Structure 1
Amino acid sequence: MNKIHAEFISKLEHHYGRYNAENNSFESTSNSKIARDLFYSDSQFSRLINNTASEGELTRALRNVQRLLDVHELRRKVSKQASGTGNSIFDKRVFMWISGVLLVSLAITLYLFTKQTDEVETDDDLSEQTRYEMLRWGFENNYIKPYVKLKELPEDCYYPCYKYQGKWILKDEYKIPFFRERNGFHYVAKEVVMYARCMDERDDRGESFEGYEYQKHEIWYDKREVPIDSFLTKGAEPKLSASYMESNFEDDPNFVKIAYVHTFFKTEFNIEDGLIYRSGKAIGRDIEFVSREILEKQSISSDFLNELKSETNTIAKNLLEDFSKPITCNPTETPNLDFNQIKEGDVLSFDCQFKTGRFLVDYNKSYIFTDQYISTYCR
């Protein structure tokens, strides 16, 4: 048993009881339950417990277990103090303290994510689930839920952001052609998962909320290297043509998927006079190239493939930095003027601009509400 695996087992024993090395199980809890607590699949946890996972996987799992233990300890201390005190001043202090703990926990989540995404080339052990699990752990586990709760709302119930809290996903994909020295590269926004929470640390009566997004997008290469002008409408203010936006690269043999772009994005939303304003920027990003074996089947030589990878790295380091700058989006109307009526299925649709070279490209980014934290309404 190596040192990291031994420490991993030792920390699990603190919470789940003695470990039986003969059958790789703990005395008080099933392995499936532990896997769910740590947001792993049964097969992933099996690799960890059997010491067949990579060192990187074990190290990240060790962090997950430590966070779990820290949260349990904080809850124990709060419960112990609260049981001996009942005055309202203490209750308020406890509430403020717990809120701070939740924000710190979320900050740790962000830190761990950005530490994993500061390299352009991805680590083979860094699976999509590993990238996403940090964000999901911060919002979907049973111990930390950084949302404002119904009982914490003011007496007059005016706190518009509370109904926006929960999980949102990208409604429709969008694509953008890159303007650079070499034609043929395109960016396809494919998947977004965003968790929204009220910014209760602000004294603005609940008129702002923030979203933490995990994005998995794609970079494609057009073998014909068609110039960007071909995808734009004519006129003083060119826009992406409808035919381009409706095209499907998957069905076009001229297009080859080169890489996946994994991004962590922080967005702020402000509610004002029936409108929602959006601002934000990328915090971390990395590139995961499609396997060489798959790309070589697309009649791309090994030397040319190296060129494409070099170009893609340049795009990630330079052009995609425009996505890291504060975004430019028009405000959108609230799904319902009565914020108490916001519900799952509602859409936030923003018309935005992306600068690629000398061109300002319009695109639409829409979120659809899929999992609302507070489905009832304040009364």
Structure 2
Amino acid sequence: MHKEDEVNKIHEEFISKLERHYGKYDPSTNKFESTSNSKIARDLFYSDSQFSRLINNTASEGELTRALRNVQRLLDVNELRGKVNKLKNSPKETPTGNKKYLWTIGVILLGFALTTAYFLTRPHQVINHTGKLTEQTRYEMLRWGFENNYVKPYVRLKELPEDCYYPCYKYQGKWRLKEEYKIPFFRERNGFHYVAKEVVMYARCMDERDDQGESFEGYEYQKHEIWYDKREVPIDSFLTKGNNPKLRTFYMNSNFENDPNYVKIAYVHTFFKTEFNIDGEQIQRSGKAIGRDIEFVPQEILEKEALSTELLNELKSETNSIAKNLLDDFSKPINCNPTMAPDLDFNQIKEGDVLSFDCQFSTGRFLVDYNKSYVFTDQYISTFCR
């Protein structure tokens, strides 16, 4: 079979699966009978232009293959929704059986959002400014998993044990990064810096574990930045002396936005999964990245920084290398010290509380200390268990 025939076959299957959910397809108008193309694009986390290429069969074979997977996930989710509704109306199932089944479905629903994001970004780990996923779209992928009308992944108040000992229940909800932090990269060329700028994390009890509610997990969307120092100051200038170097205070307090020596090169978008374990008065943190992609700052903005075209091309090439190599350290299990719980009485955990972790990042031969703190902004259960 010729390559063109293979692509046409994939496209036909893509249209066929979409028809199962959106009604009959009219090839003369490239539209479906029950839903607009823009709505379908949003359902699949595509831009209108991306979906237009798919529907008009002008996308690559790889794009069509990934789109086919995404449509199948959409169909699977709809099937699960039907099972949820049937389960809710069935008096024969026990509450425990219902809960376990609903949790399984909830994981799959959440997985749909996150794996769709992963498959969209993985083949294009480094992408241009045009035709990119928007920040809002990326965040919506995560938000959808926790704020949908079908399955809530949180443990509810009425599901807590009679003695109310279930410490994680008050930690459920939305957390954000309290303060940004910076890390200089150690590599062949000096001048590159990583700035952790934004984090939104949804936390839920890991009630699938039989540990009396002492574990909870967080799914994070992170939007961070890569900056370039025109002076290419060596990394040693930002670290203290000794066997255990730490970032100097002046570096941590610096503001790249207001310093003409620094140029923002790219944004780093990451999905991250974190697990927390409540051990008495301490909380331990571990986790790793699920998926990541790079979005370059628009060319017209970079050109205003008085950088030559040759240098800009070099910087983009260096950034690609950072994404493929150095940022892998952020994909490995993180290394953080335990932190004290915001309150020894877990029933007193409230919005505004902070989880602050002292961690280490490996950059070349250096282990760089940094602090990552989450502030509680939207608590799912604000009342007490009684």
What range describes the TM-score normalised by the shorter chain of this pair?
0.7 to 0.9
2:89 is aligned, of 80, 84, 88, to 80
Query: Which deviates more, 312-321 or 67-76?
Result: 67-76
Q: 1:62-141 to 2 correspondence within 5 Å?
A: 66=75, 69-82=78-91, 85=92, 90-118=94-122, 119-122=124-127, 124-141=131-148
Q: For 1:77 and 1:264, locate their aligned partners in 2 and report how far apart those are by CA, in whole Å.
A: 32
Q: For 1:216 and 1:54, locate their aligned partners in 2 and report how far apart those are by CA, in whole Å.
A: 27
Q: 1:267-278 to 2 correspondence within 5 Å?
A: 267-278=274-285
Code of the residue aligned with 2:249 in structure 1: it is A
CA contact (8 A) 1:122 1:288 kept: yes
Q: For 1:238 and 1:279, locate their aligned partners in 2 and report how far apart those are by CA, in whole Å.
A: 23
CA contact (8 A) 1:38 1:64 kept: no
Code of the residue aligned with 2:278 in structure 1: it is I
CA contact (8 A) 2:77 2:109 kept: no
CA contact (8 A) 2:22 2:33 kept: no
Question: What is residue 362 of structure 1 aligned with on the other side?
Answer: 369
Question: SS of the counterpart of 1:102?
Answer: helix
TM-score (norm 2): 0.83
Q: 2:219 aligned with 1:209, yes or no?
A: no
Question: What is residue 158 of structure 1 aligned with on the other side?
Answer: 165
TM-score (norm 1): 0.84
Q: 2:21 aligned with 1:11, yes or no?
A: yes
Aligned residues: 356
Question: What is residue 8 of structure 2 aligned with on the other side?
Answer: none
Code of the residue aligned with 1:280 in structure 2: it is G
Q: How many Å apart are 1:6 and its aligned residue? A: 9.3
2:250 is aligned, of 243, 249, 252, to 243
Question: SS of the counterpart of 1:303?
Answer: helix
Code of the residue aligned with 1:103 in structure 2: it is V
Question: SS of the counterpart of 2:220?
Answer: strand
Code of the residue aligned with 1:205 in structure 2: it is Q
Query: Which deviates more, 55-64 or 115-124?
Result: 55-64
Q: For 1:121 and 1:229, locate their aligned partners in 2 and report how far apart those are by CA, in whole Å.
A: 29
Q: 1:261-272 to 2 correspondence within 5 Å?
A: 261-272=268-279
Residues 130 and 9 (structure 1 numbering): CA distance in 2 closer, same or farther, change over 3 Å?
farther
Question: What is residue 286 of structure 2 aligned with on the other side?
Answer: 279
Unaligned 5+ residue runs, structure 2?
A: 1-10
* 1:84-127, Cα deviation, whole Å (9 max, x unpaired): x3xxx622212211111112222333322221221322262422
CA contact (8 A) 2:23 2:34 kept: yes
Question: What is residue 5 of structure 2 aligned with on the other side?
Answer: none
Q: 2:234 aligned with 1:230, yes or no?
A: no
Q: 2:354 aligned with 1:347, yes or no?
A: yes
Question: SS of the counterpart of 1:237?
Answer: coil
Q: How many Å apart are 1:297 and its aligned residue? A: 1.1
Q: How many Å apart are 1:63 and its aligned residue? A: 7.0
* 1:168-226, Cα deviation, whole Å (9 max, x unpaired): 11000000000111000000000001111111111100000011111110000000000
Q: For 2:94 and 2:343, locate their aligned partners in 1 and report how far apart those are by CA, in whole Å.
A: 37
Q: For 1:167 and 1:239, locate their aligned partners in 2 and report how far apart those are by CA, in whole Å.
A: 31
* 1:121-157, Cα deviation, whole Å (9 max, x unpaired): 2262422222222211100112221111111111111
Q: How many Å apart are 1:53 and its aligned residue? A: 5.5
Q: How many Å apart are 1:340 and its aligned residue? A: 0.8
Residues 325 and 138 (structure 1 numbering): CA distance in 2 closer, same or farther, change over 3 Å?
same
Residues 63 and 374 (structure 1 numbering): CA distance in 2 closer, same or farther, change over 3 Å?
farther
CA contact (8 A) 2:285 2:336 kept: yes
Q: For 1:6 and 1:250, locate their aligned partners in 2 and report how far apart those are by CA, in whole Å.
A: 49
1:184 is aligned, of 184, 191, 194, to 191
Q: For 1:258 and 1:170, locate their aligned partners in 2 and report how far apart those are by CA, in whole Å.
A: 22
